[in-house]
Every structure is written in structure tokens, then in C-alpha cells.
Amino acid sequence: MTTGTTLTHWGAYEVDSDGNSITGVRPFAKDPDPSPIGDSLEAVTRSRVLRPAIRKSWLEGGPGTRGDLRGVEPFVEVSWETALDLAASELERVRTTHGNSAIFGGSYGWSSAGRFHHAQSQLHRFLAVIGGYTDKRDTYSHAAGEVITPYVVGYDYWDLQQAHTSVSVIAEHTDLVVSFGGIPLKNAQVQNGGMGRHTLRGRLQAARDRGTRFVNISPTRDDVAPELDAEWLAPRPGSDVAVMAAMIHTLVIDALVDEVFLETHCVGWAELRSYILGNADGTPKSADWAGELSGLDPDRIRSLARELTGCRSMLNISWSLQRSDHGEQTWWMLIALACVVGQIGLPGGGFGIGYGAVASVGNGAPRRSFPALGRPANLVDDFIPVSRIADMLLHPGTPFTYDGETRSYPFIDLVYWSGGNPFHHHQDLNRLATAWARPSTIIVNEPFWTSTAKRADIVFPATTPLERRDVGGSSREDFLFALEPVLEPVGESRDDYEIFSDLAVRLEVGGEFTEGRTSDEWVRHLYEGFESRYPDSPTYDEFLAAGFIQYPETPDTVKILFDAFRADPEVDPLPTPSGRIELFSDTIAGFGYADCPPHPTFLEPREWLGSADEYPLHLLSSQPSTRLHSQLDHGATSAARKIDGREVMRMHPDDAAARDLTDGDTVRVFNDRGLCFASIEVTDGIRAGVVDLPTGAWYDPVDPSAPGSPCRHGNPNVLTRDEGTSSLAQGPVAQSCLVEVEKAVAAPIPDPHASPDFIG
């Protein structure tokens, strides 16, 4: 038996193994609040891709043969030599025939924790070495927020997040936390890159114990933990910007606006104020107006606005709110409201974006940056906003707007994915399936037979972190871990690094890709780069022996967002054109986008309860509490939450009664775009008219050969809409989605995690 440490995006664990399977898992001893998702690690050896596999028609007929049969046809297992030769010669054909821009290597996805073996970084390095690739910009997490944030505060969101007021400061100073979308502990289980300790629950409890009041403005009650005794206000999804605008309106009418802060630290208040008062459109953005749009009590909107100015208050907003039509406006209006309240830069006052979205926001941890793998410059300058992939594949040459530019979609002949799962993460999967049939070749590196692997032409079996040595940790957290191999590579799987090294040799750039290092030598090399940045670090061998490093506390780890800017905006201006927070942006005005005006504005979502008729329920597809996205959906933690093997959708008792449904029933969830089956939980913890089906149940169509065939397992992305947030960011709009629900027969479903068929 072997025991070793591993790191996941949801924490560190001690793992026991007999070499071929996991026999025990214990959370890292220093973690006060470990995630139960660790119990799913036992599944890491199941549903695996065991050998390289090629789709039948592609193998027989060559690239471009029957792309429509992806996900339908069986695979043929082949030797590594054969698969690598075929992939290398196809990469060579595409780059010489069409140029490197015809290779889409965006490969969005979280892959695994572990810095060297990070699958997407390995792919990007490989594709850069062979001459470049079409890339993607921004994230599914917060594309709209990422693009708007620099126009408002000058910093990009990543830097802004680093500077967030520490939760320990909130615990000490804040009287009132008002959060749009809550502070969901289910999401704070996770941090991209991993963490040593989950600290948020304890710090929020400390705030509550000292007397902090919480208001949860969200369609779901448990977005704030029950022990925090939050007041719950449940608006219609997509109406939050109206509620924020109405709070500003109340403060204007009651003369509670912080005119000094607006004068000294902001630009554009005159324009925003005029909009709020309805000077141009004749509609004052009053609490009565917002009450109609949101379903909230206008008196409570007014009184809550006044409370914000009467005590030390912190406003927070979830990332989810901007994953919707005109999502850019949500973060911008929240910042505007905080400016009007005037507490930005004071201890425990102002605003935050994404407390609870991931573990690191406001964690006040000492931070160190670990060297990146690095790669040569990408010689292709084509890119897409991350979630425009189906548009790109369907409409090459068509123009699109993005962040003030007009570009056009490149022609793509080869897609290479490593470390992501588009047939989990993309909206409108039936549309993606049509687009996915277009390229001549799709190559996927995957440990598991995911819905994306099943839709590839060439599948390379990849190892997981449990099968390799690595170093891991997030640059936003205070631990670095040595990941130890505890399992033999499952089947014939190889590390992504080996796969790309072998392809690079075939393309005659082996030396450029590997720089002559084995993977263990690379891990040591990267660690030594870290050690030279931080000379108090242990040597590599000492680090391996200890298993982890915890970074020492420094005086500046506890933070107050924009305290220096507040103290003197002349000495510490923001990096915006004006040096101030921009409530009106001349730059955005210059773009002239009707769907992204130059000041924060409530724009009616294209799909929401305010205009529902045929499909009367608003579908939220939030992050799953029981897994990370689609990862280890076949593990124990995820399986335990399902009913009859299907993902569980929450529904209000009134909506259930109207459809003659009871707890545990199987339902059909549908709209014009698609249909999935799900099981329901009937609960008064969700707003009437709203249902919530978490993401990540593996997409599993009843009949993959029939376009639009229902997903029997409960993947919400057969229902969501594939459109950009606005002309500015073109971010995903998963949360703007209407559906209808009806009772279905609870027939047993086949294993959604089964391998595909093989022949030969």
C-alpha cells in the first residue's frame, strides 16, 4: 500500500492506494472545513479512457469523414504509435494547407490542480511551438465582468480580486452585508489551483457572532448559510440591476447620497443621476418601478437603501449575475451603488465582487507567485471571446464585435482540446453539436470518457494527478503542495506532457518543446525558479520531504479595497482615463453599442420572467455543490445527491402543485432549444417561478444519432441560450433561460458514465 498527498481544486488530501485503486482518502490535517467532494476521489480509476482510440469513419476515410457521426459511431482502439502518427500528420496537413489559424486550441477548462501538468498550459505550449493557434479570451466564469471592470476601476478583475477587502476585516467592522447572489459556501469549496485551508465559513461565523447582519438577495435561500440568519429577499432573476438602480434613486430622493465621494473619487455621476431620475426616458428608476420588475416589496428596497448609509455596509455580488443578458451592467451598477453610499476604502465598507464564488476572494492569505510553464509567443492573432465557439465553427469569416473592435471568425479545420469539457460547459449543446460536426478533425486528451471525448476523432488517454509527480497551489492561496503519484497510470494512459512531447518529436520540434527535460526535471526546474524568487523557501528536496509549504504572514496580507485611493485620489489614482471610478465611460460611449450604454443601465433581458409566456419558469443552472463542474460526476459525492440516477432540480411548492408534481418525481424540462430529464426536490428555499438545475451531470442524449435528442441525465446546457452578453464582452448568458416542466415516467437510465462502443 502507498500513501501520498494530492491536491485538487477543492482541497488537499492524503490518499491511500494499493497501486491500482484508491483505498482511503483523508482531508489535509490543517484544513478546518474540508470539502466532501474529496470522497469522490475513489472514482478516479473508473470511466477511464484506457487506450488511444480513433472514431471509425475518420480512421477508415481520413480527416473530414462523417463529422456528423461524432458521438454516434464506435471507436477503434489503436497503438500509441498509430494514434500519434495520425495526429501529427493531420496537424501538419492543417497547418500547411490552411495555416496555423485553422487550429483551434482555446481549450477552455479547469483541468486539474498541479502546475506543471496543467493540461491547457501544456497544449498551449505545444501549439505555440508548432507555430501558433486560434485562442480564446476571457472565461465562462465572468467574461462580461472581466471586460467591463477595467473601464470602471482601471484594474482588471484579477488584480481587483487580489485587492479585495479581507473577510477578517468584514468580520471586525461590517454591520451590514447585502449580497446579490449571496455568499454561497458550496462554491467556496473550490479554488482554481487548490488550497490548503477553507477559511470562509469560520470568518463569516465570526462576523455573525460579532453582530454583522446579512441580507441575501437571491432566488435561492441557501446562497447564505443558515447559521448566518440572513434576511432573504428573492428577486426575479435578471432584475438585480433595477433593484440597485432603485436603491440609488431612494438615496437621491432622501438626500443620502455621498456627494463628496462622488465629486472627488468618481466621474459621470451627473449622467448616471440623470438616468436614475428618468430625465431622458421619463421613467424614474424608483423603488416602485424596480418592485414591478423584481417582485420585491418597494418599501423594503427603500428601507434597505437607507440602511446601507446608516451603518458600515458592504455590498457583494456573485459572478453568476453577469452570466446573463447584458451581464456587464450588473457589476457596474453594483460599483455605482457603492460609490453613492460612499464607503469604498473604509474598513469593512464599499463593495466586493465574488465573495464566496471561489475560496480565495478576501481570504487575506499571504501570496506567492509560482513560475508559469511558459511558451513562445503565439504567432496567430485570431481569437474568439471564449463562448463564441459555435458561432466560429458555424460562421467562419463572419464579423463580430468585441471590446471596441470588429473582427471576424477564423476558419477552423482542426480542434484540439485538453483539460476542458465543452459538452458540459457550453450553452445550447444541440447547437454546439451541429457546429462540432464541421471541422475535419477533433483531437481530445482526456482521462475519462466524457461527453466531449466521446465526440472526438482521436482520443488520447491522459493520466490524472494521482498518477504523476507535480507541484501545486493557487497564486491566491497560502500553500504550495508536492503532489505525489499514488497510482500506476490507468490502462495505457500517459501524461499530457508525454503526449505533446511525442507529437513534437514527430513535427521535428521535440527539443523546443521539452528543452531536454523529463517531466520530473521540469517540476524541479519550476520549483527552483520559485525558490530563487523567494529565497526563504526550502530546497526542492526539503520541500518533497515536508510535502507542503505554508507561506509566512506578512504585514500587508490583510486588505481594505481602495483604501489608498480613498485617502488621496491625487496621489493614488485608479488606472482609468480619469484616475477616478467611472460611472460614465467616454471610451464605452465611443464604441456606440446599443446593448452596452456608457453608464450602468437596466436593460431588459432577452429571456426572463418579465416577458415569459410559452415557457413560464426561469431556469438557473448554478454551480453544483457535489462536484467541480462535470469532474468526478461518477464519484460518490455526486451520486449521493442524484435521485434515480438523475440530477436534482429544485422547484417551489406552488410550481410543483400546479404541475401535479411531488418531491422525487422525474420531470421533463424543455424549451425550443432542447429537453432534458431531471428529478425534482420540492422546496420553499427557491423563489416561485424559478427552478435550479446545477451544471455537470454528464450530457447523455437518449439517441445520439437524432439531432436534439433529450438528455436523460439532467444536463441544463441543452436548454440554455448560446448568445453573447452584449457587443462589448460577448460573454455567456447561461442564467437567462426560460423553460417549462412536466411530469415524466421514472424509467431506469443506463450508466451515463459508460465507455463508448469499440470495434476491431
Residues marked as catalytic:
108, 110
Binding partner of 716, given Mo ion, ligand MGD, none, CB within 5-8 angstroms per partner class: ligand MGD
CB of 573 to ligand MGD, least distance (A): 30
| Contact flag: residue 621 with ligand MGD (CB under 6 A) | yes
Nearest to 265 by CA among 370, 169, 152, 379: 152
Instruction: Please tell me whether residue 601 binds ligand MGD under the rule CB under 6 A.
Output: no
Q: Which three cell numbers stand for residue 147?
A: 471586460
Tell me: does residue 220 bind ligand MGD (CB under 6 A).
yes
Contact yes or no for 633/698 (Cβ under 8 A): yes
Q: Determine the Cα–Cα distance for residues 622 and 690; give it in Å rounded to an integer.
A: 12
> What mask, x for binding ligand MGD by CB under 6 A, covers residues 241 to 280?
----------------------------------------
Q: Are 244 and 341 in contact (CB under 8 A)?
A: no
Q: In the complex with Mo ion, which residue's Cβ is closer, 140 or 548?
A: 140
Q: Which of 35, 47, 100, 141 binds Mo ion (CB under 5 A)?
A: 141
Neighbours of 756 (CB within 10 A): 18
Window of 235-243, 254-262, 570-578, 665-673 that interacts with ligand MGD by CB under 6 A: 235-243
Query: Which residue lies nearest Mo ion, judged by its C-beta?
Result: 141
220 pairs with which residues across the strands? 686
| Span from 136-144, 335-343, 579-587, 717-725 in contact with Mo ion (CB under 5 A) | 136-144
* Cβ atoms of 236 and 605 closer than 8 Å: no
What's the per-residue H, E or C state across 290-354?
Answer: HHHHHCCCHHHHHHHHHHHHHCCEEEEECHHHHCCCCCHHHHHHHHHHHHHHCCCCCCCCEEEEC
| Shortest distance (Å) from residue 322 CB to ligand MGD | 8
Using the CB atoms, write b or e for 494-532: b if 16+ within 10 Å. Answer: bbbbbbbbbbbebbeebeebbeeeebeebbbebbeebbe
Instruction: Look at residue 271 and give the partner it binds from Mo ion, ligand MGD, none, a contact being a CB closer than 5 to 8 Å depending on partner kind.
Output: none
Closer by beta carbon to ligand MGD, 154 or else 473: 473
Contact of residue 319 among ligand MGD, Mo ion, none (CB under 5-8 Å per partner type): ligand MGD
By the rule CB under 5 A, 695 interacts with Mo ion: no
Which residue, 77, 39, 741, is CA-closest to 461?
77
Q: Is 101 in the site for ligand MGD (CB under 6 A)?
A: no
Is 216 near ligand MGD (CB under 6 A)? no
Q: Which is nearer to Mo ion, 113 or 308 (CB)?
A: 113
Secondary structure element (H or E) that encloses residue 384, with its range: strand 383-385
Among ligand MGD, Mo ion, none, what does residue 448 contact (CB within 5–8 Å per kind)?
ligand MGD
Indicate whether 218 belongs to the interface with ligand MGD (CB under 6 A).
yes
Residue 735 in contact with ligand MGD, rule: CB under 6 A? yes
Task: Kindly indicate which of the ranges 138-146, 309-317, 443-451, 598-606 contains the residues binding Mo ion, using the contact rule CB under 5 A.
Answer: 138-146
- What 8-state DSSP symbol labels residue 409? P
Q: Which of residues 539-598 bind ligand MGD (CB under 6 A)?
A: none
Residue 625 in the binding site for ligand MGD (CB under 6 A)? yes
Planar angle of CA 348, 178, 650, nearest 5 degrees:
135
223 is a contact residue toward ligand MGD (CB under 6 A) = yes
Write down the least CB distance from residue 664 to ligand MGD, Å.
22
Q: What is the C-alpha to C-alpha distance for residues 367 and 359, in angstroms, rounded to an integer?
A: 14
Q: Among 271, 325, 382, 446, which residue sits at the site for ligand MGD (rule: CB under 6 A)?
A: 446
Residue keyed to cell 421514472: 746
How far apart CA 569 and CA 562 sit, in angstroms, is 10
Pick out residues in 400-429 that bind ligand MGD (CB under 6 A): 418-421, 424-425
3-state per-residue secondary structure call for 538-569: CCHHHHHHHCEEECCCCCCCCCCCCHHHHHCC
* All residues at 6 or more sequence positions from 282 whose CB lies less than 8 Å from its CB, including other chains: none
DSSP H helices in 534-664: 540-546, 563-567, 586-591, 636-641, 653-658
Question: What is the contact mask toward ligand MGD in residues 460 to 499, using x (rule: CB under 6 A)?
Answer: --x-x-------------------------------x---
Q: Which is nearer to ligand MGD, 67 or 145 (CB)?
A: 145
Cell numbers representing residue 163 in the block: 485587492
Query: Considering beta carbons, is residue 168 or 625 the nearer one to ligand MGD?
Result: 625
* Contacts (Cβ under 8 Å, ≥6 apart) of 587: 151, 404, 577
632 near 39, Cβ under 8 Å? no
**3 state DSSP class of 435:** helix
Q: Which is nearer to ligand MGD, 321 or 691 (CB)?
A: 321
537: contact with ligand MGD by CB under 6 A: no
Rounded-to-integer distance, Cα 128 and Cα 501, Å: 13
Q: Which does 358 bind (CB under 5 to 8 A by kind): ligand MGD, Mo ion, none?
A: ligand MGD
Is 622 an interacting residue with respect to Mo ion (CB under 5 A)?
A: no
One symbol per residue from 179 to 198: x for binding ligand MGD (CB under 6 A), - otherwise; what is it? -xxx-x-xx-xx--------
Give the distance, in angstroms, between the CA of residue 176 and the centroid of all CA atoms in the same chain.
Answer: 28
Stretch that binds ligand MGD, among 78-86, 170-178, 478-486, 614-622 (CB under 6 A): 614-622
Residue 322 partner contact from Mo ion, ligand MGD, none using kind-dependent CB cut-offs of 5 to 8 Å: none
**Set of cell numbers at residue 580:** 477616478
Residue 117's binding partner among ligand MGD, Mo ion, none (Cβ under 5 to 8 angstroms by kind) is ligand MGD
Residues that bind ligand MGD (CB under 6 A): 109-112, 117, 119, 140-141, 180-182, 184, 186-187, 189-190, 217-220, 223, 235, 237-238, 240, 318-321, 323, 357-358, 418-421, 424-425, 445-448, 450, 462, 464, 496, 620-625, 628-631, 695, 716-717, 720, 734-735
Residues that bind Mo ion (CB under 5 A): 141
